Structure 1
């Protein structure tokens, strides 16, 4: 290792998803069910708002906490939803930026952070980057939010519980009772509760429910990347207790500085863009995948997001993914998101034609 490289960077590897993309780079016209972003374009009113902001000269740094109209609009919605006495909001450079700032603001070396396995790939890496200790809690086979397992994992070093519903990579949504149980557990134990709600708009069978409803100390991360297809625009937001938010802002001043200003004005217009049509379309895609694969694969029905997490035939999900790539299908091995190598992730954020082709290949591989 080069002598200049910091030791903390050796505690985690590069994203396994990138490795899969490298493996598939030689494929010609692959059936791609790997991409974790919507397949629709940014809605026209949002594009127009960004262009107008640029032409109006809104291209400089914004305040670190974000432009006032966007913060005020989000804060109004947050207060209407929760009505907490002490809850502040700021605009982050994407939800990933919000996750980074949350960890840097709250996790000290040796602190333990509990989250469910399978998990979003960034969680253990960010925890280790801060010197923290990732504590994945097994959620197989149903991928539910098991409060009893979470409670059993708590030690005197536990600093945070991190929840993600709807979840990446499984698409499974926690029930209102499960989220309430975890919220009250964190409150009782005086443990920070961080709720990653980036897929909150993608709910297919029930209304979205936030654990902040039952725990007013919950830190919530959300944004516009998935809901409005703005993944490259880097606009998220965080809300929580004012002292925590102030600390995150202090770090943002010396790191991200601010989210891109034109994109913030676009996000302001996004708050008024209806998403019902897109959500209905993705519910249809979810159902298409379930109907197409349930006969030959063990698969939990996704209640949200745009992922499914089937069990792979045979003993290795990674080996199965290699077979799929050889057959022209690009999917992601489950061991990138988990301590187990038994499943694989599908993204159904794709055209119906692509989904039909992918389902056909998967069913052929399972025969």
Structure 2
């Protein structure tokens, strides 16, 4: 964040609670919460986002998609609209997609239940990359990594998809502060990037965590706890 220079960075509320504290560490960053008009809605509509983006002068928006910890996600037409709004208003969106594999309500049939076990049958995930027209022109920065979607908490490797100047700037900042990434573990992690492994591992991840979600929801409802937003992503309620 510090490498991006002086700017106002807004974050949705509710969203990942660490954002507020983390953004406050950077003297060049002016963090502001972006509140919903309707507090009963877990996600801000594209219409409201466009209204705020066009009038608040926000430079950058930091958000988790799927939303962490509330569990819903911006998808399909709504996600496409958010990318368009960012493009039209020259507002940068930093998309935190670390939980994008944790999806539970897909209509796709996994191989364990009779679905095809090949590249024609992929588990449901979400990414704004599908709506980026030109990676070097659209103001979208996508971040992902091995710690959550790949369930490798000790492999602190992440990557970004962004315009080339942003990638070069962050690479230079990383080399300056840390001397660059640790190459041997990176090489050992390459098999985790094989598409066949990703497909099978994501099916297994969704199967395991869907059972945990359903078990937890059943028990807390039995105790009389009302769940306002049943999560379809992540592993929080």
Say whether the fold is shared (TM-score over 0.5). yes
SS of match in other structure, 1:185: helix
* Partner secondary structure for residue 32 of structure 2: strand
User: What root-mean-square deviation, in Å, do the aligned CA atoms of Structure 1 and Structure 2 show?
Assistant: 2.1
> In structure 2, do the counterparts of structure 1 residues 298 and 136 end up closer, same or farther at CA, with 3 Å as the change threshold?
farther
2-side partners of 1:133 and 1:158: how far apart?
10
Matches within 5 A, 1:16-31: none
What aligned pairs does 1:59-78 form with structure 2 within 5 A after superposition? none
Listed one character per residue, the Cα deviations across residues 191-210 of structure 1 (whole Å, up to 9, x for unaligned) are: 11111111111112243232
Q: CA deviation at 1:225?
A: 0.3
- Give the aligned partner of residue 59 of structure 2: 159
Q: How does 1:236-255 map to 2 (within 5 A)?
A: 236-255=158-177
Residue 235 of structure 1 deviates from its aligned partner by 0.8
* Aligned counterpart, 1:149: 48
- Which protein has greater RCO, CA pairs closer than 8 Å, 6+ apart? 1
Q: Secondary structure of 1:115's match?
A: strand
- Aligned pair count reads 204
Shift of 1:232: 2.0
The whole-number CA distance in structure 1 between the counterparts of 2:168 and 2:82 is 25
Matched, 1:283 2:228: no
Distance 1:269 1:123 in 2: 31
Within 5 A, what are the aligned runs for 1:1-367? 103-108=1-6, 111-128=7-24, 129-139=26-36, 140-154=39-53, 155=55, 157-206=57-106, 207-215=124-132, 216=134, 217=138, 218-272=140-194, 273=197, 274-275=200-201, 276-294=203-221, 296-299=224-227, 300-308=229-237
- Unaligned ranges ≥5, structure 1: 1-102, 309-367
Distance change >3 Å, CA 292–CA 281, structure 1 → 2 = same
Question: TM-score normalized by structure 2?
Answer: 0.77
CA contact (8 A) 1:115 1:135 kept: yes
**Using the alignment, how far apart are the partners of 1:130 and 1:269 within structure 2?**
39
Gaps of 5+ in 2: 107-123
* Alpha-carbon separation, structure 1, partners of 2:149 and 2:185: 14
Cα 1:256/1:152, change in 2 over 3 Å: farther
Name which one, 1 or 2, has greater alpha-carbon Rg: 1
Q: Aligned pair in 2 of structure 1 residues 278, 210: CA closer, same or farther (>3 Å)?
A: closer
Shift of 1:248: 0.9
Q: What is the CA distance between 1:293 and its match in structure 2? A: 2.2
Q: What residue number does 1:75 align with?
A: none
Alpha-carbon spacing, 1:107–1:179, altered in 2? closer, same or farther (3 Å): farther
SS of equivalent to 1:255? helix
Distance 1:298 1:134, change over 3 A: farther
